[in-house]
Chain A
Amino acid sequence: MKKVAHAFALSALLAAPALAQEVKIGFVTTLSGPAGYFGQDARDAFNLAIEHGGGTLGGAKINLLVEDDAVKPGQGKQIADRFLKGEGVKLFTGIIFSNVAAAIVPDILEGGGTYVSLNAAPSELAGKECHRNYFVMSWQNDSLHESAGANATRLGYKRAFLIAPNYQAGKDAIAGFKRFFKGEIAGEVYTVLNATDYAAEIARIRASNADMVFHFIPGGAGIAFARQYAASGIKLPQVVSGASGDAVIVKAVGEPFLGTAVSAQWSSDLDNPVNKKFVEDFQKKYGRMPTQWAAQAYDTALGIASALKANGGKFDQAAFRTALNKADFQLTRGPFKFAANQHPIQDWYAMNVVKDAGGNFVLKLDQKILTNHTDVYGKDCKM
Chain B
Amino acid sequence: MSLVIEQILNGIQLGVALFLLAAGLTLIFGIMGVINLAHGSLYMTGAFAMAWATSKTGSFWLGVPYGLAAAAIAGILVELLVVRRLYARDHLEQVLATYGLILFFNQMATIIFGRQPLLLAPPDALSGFVTILPGIQYPVYRFAIIVAGLVVALGLYLLIARTRIGMLVRAGATHREMVRALGVDIRLLYTFVFGLGALLAGFAGVMAGPLYGVTAGMGEQILILTFVVVVIGGVGSIRGAFYGALLVGIVDTMLRAFMPGLLRTFMAGQEADALGGGIGSMGVYFLMALVLALKPKGLFPAHG
Contact = CB atoms under 8 A, between A and B. Distances in A.
B203 to A, nearest CB: 17
B139 A231 contact: yes
Classify the secondary structure of B's interface with A: helix
Given A203-B3, A227-B119, 10 more contacts: A36-B115, A166-B277, A190-B273, A199-B13, A200-B7, A201-B256, A206-B6, A220-B215, A224-B213, A252-B119
Contacts of B116: 34, 36-37, 220
A63 interface: no
B58 interface: no
B117 A231 contact: no
Interface centre among B6, B137, B253 (most CB of A within 10 A): B6
A152 to B, nearest CB: 18
Interface string B178-190: 0000000000000
Nearest to A191: B277
Given A33-B115, A223-B117, A199 B213 contact: no
Interface in A177-215: 185, 188-192, 194, 196-197, 199-201, 203-204, 206-207
Contacts, number: 82
Range of interface residues on B (Cβ < 8 Å)? 35 or more
Interface of B: 2-3, 6-7, 10, 13-14, 115-117, 119, 122, 127-129, 137, 139, 141-142, 211-213, 215, 218, 221, 253, 256-257, 260, 269-270, 273-274, 277-278, 281
Contacts of A86: none
Interface centre among A37, A197, A220 (most CB of B within 10 A): A197
A233 interface: yes
Nearest to B141: A231
Interface in A202-250: 203-204, 206-207, 220, 223-224, 227-228, 231-233
Given A199-B13, A206-B6, A166 B142 contact: no
Interface of A: 32-34, 36-37, 166, 171, 185, 188-192, 194, 196-197, 199-201, 203-204, 206-207, 220, 223-224, 227-228, 231-233, 252
B274 A166 contact: yes
Q: Which 9 residue pairs are nearest across A and B when measured between Cβ atoms?
A: A190-B277, A196-B212, A207-B3, A199-B10, A200-B256, A200-B257, A220-B117, A203-B6, A188-B273
B3 A189 contact: no
Nearest to A36: B115
B212 A224 contact: yes
B281 A189 contact: no
Nearest to B14: A197
A192 B253 CA distance: 12
15 contacts: A34-B116, A34-B117, A188-B273, A192-B277, A197-B14, A197-B212, A199-B10, A199-B253, A200-B256, A203-B6, A204-B257, A206-B3, A220-B116, A224-B212, A224-B213
